[in-house]
Structure 1
Amino acid sequence: MLYHIDFKGEKVVPVGEGQTILQASLAAGIPHYHACGGKGQCTTCRVLVLQGQEQITPPTSYERVIKNVKKFPDNVRLACQSKVNGEGVKVQRLIRDETDRYIFINDSEASTTRVMGERRKLALFFIDIRNFTPFIEANLPFDVIHIMRRIFAIFRNAITQYNGEIIETAGDGLYAVFGLNSKIKQATESAVLAGLKILSDLRIFNNTYMRPYFNHTFEVGIGVHVGKVIVGNVGIGLSNNMTVMGYPVNVAARLQAATRELDNSFVISDLAYRLLKNPPYSMGCGYLTLKGVSNAYEVKLIGKPYETKQATIITESGS
């Protein structure tokens, strides 16, 4: 019996009964890596099964051992151990040149799932210190860095307490996600609780440290949104290399920026707010215009007005 395998971006190749995917690809002239000679003792021949996983033979004992060690997802198979018993199979070679080989083999810190990327529904959390520039201009470099470390410790402690993960810091703000190890409703609850804790802890810090020693107080703006994003590991040696990308990330960043125009320290999208089991009191709702979106975007205001006022923005009351 003769079947066919579609190698994405390369060619459709015939595979005979009893022939492995590796044997079929090599016979068709595809330069398929197989460092161990196709004996199931390495992972260089691995493929990502895009379609027809049910038409591939079950994992062999060699595959099961490697899967347990490497934590491969179910749709990653060793081509040297996998045979085809039906049509409709489409695969993608994961290691196609030396750069791929380095990323997938030498980078032992990154999980296969994170290197390949995955689509996840997460709660996205942006926070920024609003009035840090005047403090920078009026104080010594040591004091600026020291206070920045104190404030970021407040951020980090709250985020990690509620199982969030910081993805990126930039200047006087940061970006975190919740839901890498939980369902989206719990993730949204955690993001909101982390934000409320930061507001509370920052208020204490202002009253007990900043006012007495520096005659200065800080305020922050927090934006929270939820959505499907791509999670992956870019492997450039910075932090944990994780990146989270997608339009919902841009929305969350826009919500954080809108804390100024809406005069409220914590802005959450209505979509995220409706996921909360015990939503905090909302001072009102606002409507934002987002780039590329024709309808106004509804948000809830769950923080407090700023002490340092910006231009007045009209919002609609509600809860």
Structure 2
Amino acid sequence: MLDTENTDQFEEIALEDQARLVLGGCEGWPLAPVIDWLISKDSRFTDPAEFLKALCNSLLNVGAPLDRIRLSFRTIHPQVAALSYIWESNRTEIETMQIGHGFKDTEAFKGSPADTMMSTGEPVRFKIADIDVSKEHEAIQDVADTGATDYLGLPMLTSTGDVHNMFISTNREAGFTDCDIQKLKRLSQHIQAKVELLATQRLAIALLDTYVGKRTGQRVLDGQIKRGQGEEIQAALWFSDLRDFTLLTETLPPEDLLELLNEYFELVYNSVTKYGGEVLRFIGDAMLIVFTAENSSTGCLYGASEGAFSASEMAYKELEEINARRKEEGKPVFNFGVGLHEGTVTYGNVGAPDRLDFTVMGPAVNRTARLESKTKELGRRRLMSREFAEKLSKPIESLGFFNLKGIGEKQEICAVAR
């Protein structure tokens, strides 16, 4: 429960008393060196875990009675609603926790200190040595199990109205003094802007990873956002397309169509990312994927091609299991074709001045898509160029030379030997 014996522990204090806190005139450890560190270049971090570790080291250096700090903030991500970073004095590494959507409806959250702070925007304190822990929320019981004698929760209100939280506990027998609490509250006010910046950076990374992919997202964050800016890379390319998509759109209810599409996209995504591939774009029911030489197991184009081929093997194996389940559930099954090619592509920015797309371009991309379109005509769900096939250790057969739309000369098309 909230410590009610010292209700003035969270009240604002006079300016002269605040100055004493900062300058170290108050009893115990001085806050000023920590604030000096916060405004120095030594506190410039882009990783919340590294920032928290450095902050805790700075606090320990001045004698602050800390044994555990948890820093939590909300984020926007399709699978993660919040991130927590946990420092403990007896561990060298920061623990990172990802909290899924719907956490507010769980018993672990309802009635917890975090719930209280998010609802009220006010600090909370639990002097564990003076309360019956068995009657408290499980979060307090968990903290008590670490040996903590005092537990302090400090909310940090952001400029957008969100509330980030910092939870601090000590194992010191006497717990926190009133002066400790005022200093820690003051500290939370000083780090509020920095934590908000770190949370914004995490948000930007999460959104870019989700919507444009990690490789592209990192380049955007690195400032490669000028139209026409790009680089040539060696890559294996994958283009896949869902079979009979037009028929599916005409016959399936919208929710069933979306469910099927998402299952197809997830299947391919899981397969290609396991082997170093990155989905560059979804084009309706099609997917353009790149396997770069630098991200391959061997660091060369041979490894990238092997990775792309192995990903297709995995995807088709998983497809059989998915379709068997869908059939049992009375749902329509699905299939897709894959074109595989390799070569040099231009990876960069194209578009209008205020609306850009970061993608791969070049003849190799067009040829990969044309190979996929031939899968229907040749009755093979996976086709590859001769250049790609020569990079594989698998037995490959040539299906002959064919005209591909937009390509002047006939091209040799290969497939896995039957």
In structure 2, do the counterparts of structure 1 residues 142 and 236 end up closer, same or farther at CA, with 3 Å as the change threshold? farther
Question: Is 1:126 the equivalent of 2:239?
Answer: yes
Aligned to 1:256: 372
The equivalent residue for 2:388 is 272
Q: Structure 1: which 5+ runs fail to align?
A: 1-106, 303-317
2:330 is the alignment partner of 1:214: yes
Check conservation: 2:350, 2:356, Cα contact below 8 A. Answer: no
Structure 2 residue ranges without an equivalent (≥5)? 1-218
| Cα distance change of structure 1 residues 296 and 241 upon mapping to structure 2, 3 Å threshold | closer
Shift of residue 292 of structure 1?
Answer: 6.0
Residues 192 and 289 of structure 1: is their aligned pair in 2 closer, same or farther, counting only changes over 3 Å? Answer: same
Distance 1:110 1:167 in 2: 18
Alignment equivalent of 2:313, drawn from 187, 196, 216:
196
What SS does the corresponding residue of 1:163 show, helix, strand or coil? coil
* Corresponding residue number in structure 2 for 1:83: none
Q: Output the CA distance in 1 between the equivalents of 2:246 and 2:371.
A: 21
The Cα offsets for residues 69-108 of structure 1, whole Å up to 9 and x where unpaired, read as: xxxxxxxxxxxxxxxxxxxxxxxxxxxxxxxxxxxxxx96
Give 3-state SS (helix, strand or coil) of 1:214's partner: coil
Structure in which a larger fraction of residues adopt helix:
2
> Using a 3 Å threshold, how does the CA distance of structure 1 residues 113 and 275 change in structure 2: closer, same or farther?
farther
Give the Å deviation of 1:151.
1.2
Superposed counterparts of 1:1-319, under 5 Å: 109-112=221-224, 116-179=229-292, 180-181=294-295, 182-208=299-325, 210-234=326-350, 241-276=357-392, 278-279=393-394, 281-282=395-396, 284-291=398-405, 293-302=407-416
Shift of 1:167: 1.0
Q: Report the AA paired with residue 122 of structure 1.
A: A
Contact 1:120/1:229 (<8 A) preserved? yes
Q: Is the partner of 1:218 in helix, strand or coil? A: coil
Q: Structure 2: how far apart are the matches of 1:187 and 1:232?
A: 20
Aligned residues: 195
Whether the 8 Å contact between 2:389 and 2:396 is mirrored in structure 1 is no
Q: Contact 1:287 / 1:297 at 8 angstroms: preserved in 2?
A: yes
Instruction: Tell me, yes or no, if the aligned pair for 1:268 and 1:301 is still in contact at 8 Å.
Output: yes
| TM-score normalised by L of structure 1 | 0.55
Q: Which moved more, 1:139-148 or 1:255-264?
A: 139-148
Deviations 1:25-45 (A, max 9, x none): xxxxxxxxxxxxxxxxxxxxx
Q: Secondary structure at the match of 1:287?
A: strand
Sort the Cα spacing of 1:240 and 1:222 in 2 relative to 1 into closer, same or farther, 3 A: farther
TM norm structure 2 = 0.43
What fraction of aligned residue pairs are identical, expressed as a percent?
30
What does the per-residue CA deviation read over 1:221-269, in whole Å, with 9 as the maximum and x for residues that have no partner?
Answer: 1000111110114488999943100001110010010101111000010
CA drift at 1:175:
0.4
The equivalent residue for 1:17 is: none
CA distance in 2, matches of 1:132, 1:238: 32
Instruction: Quote how far apart the aligned CAs of 1:217 are.
Output: 1.8
Distance 1:212 1:237 in 2: 50
Q: Which residue of 2 aligns with 1:72?
A: none
Conserved? CA contact 2:403–2:411, under 8 Å: yes
Q: Is the 8 A contact 2:398 2:412 kept in 1?
A: no
- Structure 1 residues 301 and 237: alpha-carbon distance in aligned structure 2, compared to 1, 3 A threshold: farther
SS in structure 1 opposite 2:221? coil
